[in-house]
């Protein structure tokens, strides 16, 4: 299903709920979908964090410090550093997604 079609589906559901619609089956299904994605993202975040920890041990550098230095052009473009950079980006995206899915007020 195309992304725009999915967004349209969500907009229609949002309109229904805003108009006072309530259905226990749909409520439960939506909660299960969100919970399932949270569980999947938590597994992915753990895997990425383990990869980051390996680079941190290998280079005796935190991922935060690496990220800042890499973005500033202070690190070489080695295969390890490129992979570390990708893992940092993945961690940021997954953490952001989890924040949204959990409804964290601090995400804004």
Residue 45 lies in a domain: yes
Q: Note the pLDDT of residue 104.
A: 87
pLDDT of 108 reads: 46
C-alpha 45/C-alpha 65 separation (Å) is: 19
The pTM for the full model equals 0.84
- Residues 49-91: tens digit of each pLDDT: 999 999 999 999 999 999 999 999 999 999 999 999 999 999 9
Domain assignment present for residue 26? The answer is: no
| Residues shown for the chain | 108
Within a domain: 27:
no
pLDDT digits (tens, 9 = 90+) for 2-55: 689 999 999 999 999 999 999 999 999 999 999 999 999 999 999 999 999 999
**pLDDT grade for 1, boundaries at 50, 70 and 90:** low
In a domain, 72, yes or no: yes
pLDDT of residue 85: 97
Question: How many domains are contained in the chain?
Answer: 1
User: What's the domain range around 94?
Assistant: 32-107
Which residues are within 8 A (CB) of 84 and not within 5 positions of it... i.e. 6 or more apart? Answer: 52, 55, 63, 66, 70
pLDDT given at position 3:
86
């Amino acid at each position: 299903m195309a992304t725009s079609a999915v967004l349209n589906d969500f907009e229609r559901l949002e309109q229904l709920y805003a108009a006072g619609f309530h259905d226990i089956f749909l409520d439960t299904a939506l909660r299960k979908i969100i919970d399932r994605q949270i569980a999947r993202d938590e597994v992915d975040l753990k895997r990425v964090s383990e990869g980051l920890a390996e680079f941190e041990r290998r280079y005796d550098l935190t991922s935060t410090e690496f990220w800042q230095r890499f973005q500033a052009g202070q690190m070489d473009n080695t295969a390890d550093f490129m992979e570390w950079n990708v893992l940092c980006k993945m961690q940021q995206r997954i953490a952001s997604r989890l924040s949204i899915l959990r409804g964290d007020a601090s995400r804004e």
